[in-house]
Structure 1
């Protein structure tokens, strides 16, 4: 891919960095710092522009949002690992108040073991790409898997909630999951 094309992708899509940062990482900005998160997001945008393959049929913005989000998430984890070694933390509440913490931080908020970290990473990634699905597919998946604060529901329970039959719920979930898989593989 030529350099001019990469630079054009970056300059035309810089707003995606701010979109991802403020939509998906607003709460973590207080912990890590806005400038750091935005800088890492810009690195993600550059990586996305360099690796983008328009022949795969995915829009650049779709691909870039995923790469930016992954890059920010990785950087947050690395930065928090470094902080954990120092024991230098502040607990920041949603209302803006904070208190010093001894040997606590990000991991205590999301869980320390690998399974918890993988689950958190998957949740962040899913929250990044789930809004790209059509409304009924998105809602069916959220209800079926208990995402976005919903408890898990059976397909039979979901049908009247979204106004379709149980068979249609099954198809919506299957099609939605296929789209999510395709997005991950893109």
Structure 2
């Protein structure tokens, strides 16, 4: 990501704010890094329903940015953008969760679907197909895909809950806890490597189109419309594939959570 402030200018602003309590410097830092909020909220909005207002996401993210600026310690050797992106994203996710706009009935269906998929995966030694999952749920394939469509309005990729370093509200993203490199302990490095390995394993177990959707969206930055054009399917189908992938990743990583913390 391109630097939003020249290094010398940024250092002077941090010194003025943290050492001298200069709130004008604080306001300049907020203004300079506001584009980060727009970037993160825009990315998260891609797979959220129209009922979630973009202004709300930006507002949650703005609070995260302010928290990041108030709590950032330049002496720790972490780039502010790394620290801020984690705080902004965490604040937006916290705001969405606290809003609890997901109907209880749909939340129960999501939980049931996750449990069924994980049980089938354990029995089969692989992720189940749509047909196998629908049969286990005693649903037609059409009804199952309709359920995926409904859930596609509620799911977004969040690996925050599976990191050992996760903490309370506003501190859910592991990147917000990254210490300066010289203070990293071997155990910390090991857990981070294990987490990356588990994520890679989980993604590798996805179906071809699901892997492609995850890769194009989360790694390459394509929009849902662009992914639909690449795959030659509808945007609705992309949402279904995305939902399946997220539920499978959550189930797999959830089952492996104890391996990291054991």
Q: TM-score, normalised to structure 1's length?
A: 0.50
Using the size of structure 2 for normalisation, the TM-score is 0.37
